[in-house]
Amino acid sequence: MKDEGVSTIINKIKSKTISLDAICYINWGLRTGTEELTEKMIQRSQSGPQWKKMVRGDGITDRYSMIWQGEYINYDKSELFNPMFEDLFEKEKIIIRKIAGARGLFASFDPDKYYAFSTTILAVPYHLVETCLISRDEKHLQDCRVRATMEQINFSKTWSQKFLLVVINSRLLGFYYWNCIGDELSVVPNHVKELPIRQIDFSNPSQKVVHDSLASLADRMLTLHKQRNELLSKIPGDTTISFKEVNANRAAFHISMLADTKVSDFKPFLKLKIKEFVLKRDGSALVLFHQEKGEALRLTFDDEDFLKYFALIFARWIEDNSKKGFKGEFDLPSVTNLAESIKPTLAQLEKEIGADDILAIQSEIAETDKTIDKMVYELYELTPEDVAVVETLPVEEVRRKYGWH
């Protein structure tokens, strides 16, 4: 039985919403069939017009983040086990990863019209697949397996996909997902169809402003994540060291040009996903920060170059280890002759990237995320007491359920 506070919030959400499938056609990406056929139909070069750029679920690296991993699919319907249909792919759309995270769903926006593998779920407004919906070709309709009324088609035109993306990625829908829909880590189309979207009266100027403002914030988040991914791709990922001196007693660790190290009690942070941490700059210090649990590590530098170098490498470390649990141990660059060796490397990295740039982007992502969540809470008319329940309960319960701590 659900906690009374949770039930109150769930009922409040249900009373003011429609399901996502009132607006969008939702289904799996394409399925190739056997493993052998998959190897045959997917490659890393484009051999002709039938070969289409394709993304898998692991290409949705974060909420608002999608990275094409260089794969092409031979879109031959006669060969594929379940090819779906072209209009599903060749439209701008929301793509959701099959595997959920502790905060809920991972969704991004695809403006490039990728074909998508069955480790994704696609959401496309009905009006964008209208040619399939109203086709007189019965075989075509059967292939598409799409059913919608003209009323649904017209209704879907009023909504911004970016607004829907923000709501799907919000903390509130993560809360709803884990309490009402998700019973395992794998997301399926029926889960996505049930997502509660706040009804908007588009004739009401104040409601339309909120809709449009959230859509604009989605644009900003997509831009920030794209910039962040481009910068991180330029940072070397094979540089390693260990903070061997950060031991069970949390002793301070001092290396060349590192003035001071403050290590928090790691216990509250253990096995949190590394992706949940943000690296921030605070004057001459770098801070590894978790939005719920607070500061985990603070490194104070007496050399600006070393701080910038460390910021770049640590940002890449967070990216490379994003799916791992936090253990209070770090792999970092070798400190041997670091003062002399980092100068040329840093100069090149600063030219291509800029440590201040990546820190600023990561900070803005975190702040924009908080702004979005606040606006979504207000849109769904949650009280401060409701918000407190949403922000403390779901992630902890998901971790307990799946043994994540």
Whether 382 shows a pLDDT value over 80: the answer reads yes
Partner residues linked to 104 by β-bridges: 101
Partner residues linked to 262 by β-bridges: 298
Q: Do 167 and 200 meet the contact criterion of CB atoms below 8 Å apart?
A: no
- The residue type found at 147 is R
The per-residue pLDDT for 270 is: 66
228-283 pLDDT per residue, tens: 888 877 766 544 433 433 333 333 333 444 555 555 555 667 667 777 788 888 88
297-340 pLDDT per residue, tens: 787 777 777 777 778 777 777 777 776 766 655 544 444 444 45
Sheet bearing 258-263, strands edge to edge: 258-263, 294-301, 285-290, 277-282
The per-residue pLDDT for 380 is: 98
For each of the domains in the chain, give its residue range(s) and CATH number, in order of start: 4-200 (3.90.220.10), 258-352 (no CATH)
How much is the average pLDDT of 181-189?
A: 83
The per-residue pLDDT for 1 is: 43
Q: Which residues contact 282 (CB under 8 A, 6 or more apart)?
A: 298
The per-residue pLDDT for 222 is: 97
Write the DSSP assignment of 147-163 as a string of letters: ---HHHHHHHTTS-HHH
Helix (H) or strand (E) holding 297: strand 294-301
The per-residue pLDDT for 328 is: 59
The per-residue pLDDT for 336 is: 44
d(CA 327, CA 272): 8
The helix/strand/coil state of 259 is strand
The per-residue pLDDT for 394 is: 53
110-168 pLDDT per residue, tens: 999 999 999 999 999 999 987 776 544 444 444 455 678 888 899 999 999 999 999 99
The per-residue pLDDT for 315 is: 78
The per-residue pLDDT for 311 is: 80
Whether 355 shows a pLDDT value over 80: the answer reads no
Supply φ then ψ for residue 349, to 5 degrees. -65, -40
Considering only residues 291 and 187, tell me which one the structure prediction assigns the higher pLDDT.
187
Least confident of 76-90, 334-348, 372-386: 334-348
Considering only residues 350 and 201, tell me which one the structure prediction assigns the higher pLDDT.
201
29-87 pLDDT per residue, tens: 999 998 899 999 999 999 899 999 999 999 998 899 999 999 999 999 999 999 999 98
- The residue with tokens 């993306």 is 165
How much is the average pLDDT of 210-233?
A: 93
CA angle 197, 201, 204 (to 5 degrees): 140
How much is the average pLDDT of 181-198?
A: 90
Q: Which residues contact 372 (CB under 8 A, 6 or more apart)?
A: 166, 169, 170, 214, 217, 221
Q: Which of 84, 74, 104 is nearest to 26 (CA)?
A: 84
